Amino acid sequence: MKLHSNPWLRTAYARLWVRAKSIYGEPLWVAVNIGFPFFTSFSLTMVYRAYGLNSFTGFAILGGVMISFWGNVLWSMASQFNWDKQVGLFEIYITSPAPISAILVGMSLGGILGTAPSAAMVALLGWVIFHPPINAVWPAVISVFALTLASLYAMGMALSSLYLAYGREADSVNEALHEPVSLISGVYFPSTGGFSPFPLAVQAGASLIPLTLGMDALRRTLFFGQGFGELYLDLELLALAVMGVVLLFASSKALKFLENKGRRTGTIAVRQR
């Protein structure tokens, strides 16, 4: 099926192009996207080295890569519809024939494409400077990475409907979520398993976050040489896939409800200051 003959694909492509273009249209954002995660990774890598844990330096670099995507999910996915609502764009979305689901998927793919070069630069600089030991099973690494991003951006889609309904609190919720989730999900250190500093109850709660399972699975496949067939890794892959499907379904239902409400009553398009 050709792209120009399918409205859903045309909408997704248009939103993808705008999102990817906007990220690199401002040089300052490019510097921030690289600098913020890199310097955080740099400092934590030095902490690992100071305690003689050179074999764990890769954890900090991997965290710098994944925190870029986590920030993009919160600030460019979950919040985007609320921001569009404040400037009047969401009114255009719900009155146009463009499918809302295609707009969300386009935003997700554009966010991934826009963030990927910055994340790759953090990984490259970290590897060149610190030379972390890697024992990777690349097919498993690629599968885990893809499933982690899919579930994370599905989570961003689900949050976008909540933020749209509770607009003025969106930025505050983001501020409240960013650092605590980064901590308990183990972005820079293992937060589940035998190396975790957290009690079992906290580990169980953290495992409900896609980023937690994704980080643990990435460490297993990148640094510990685990591949398909390892029971715990296979369970994490299955859980990530299930999370992605459930969150995608939930976001679709929630946005359909809000879209119908907006078309019927007009209240969803009311801007809140």
Q: Rounded CA gap, 12 and 102, in Å?
A: 5
pLDDT in tens, 208-228: 999 999 999 999 999 999 999
Look at residues 192, 236, 189, 229 and name the one whose alpha carbon lies nearest to residue 210: 236
pLDDT in tens, 52-64: 888 788 999 999 8
Q: What is the pTM of this model?
A: 0.87
The 10 Å Cβ neighbour count of residue 231 is 7
Q: Rounded CA gap, 146 and 144, in Å?
A: 5
pLDDT at 263: 62
For residue 186, the SS3 value is coil
Q: Rounded CA gap, 24 and 29, in Å?
A: 7
Q: Rounded CA gap, 227 and 239, in Å?
A: 16
Ranges of residues in the chain with a pLDDT under 50 are: 1, 273
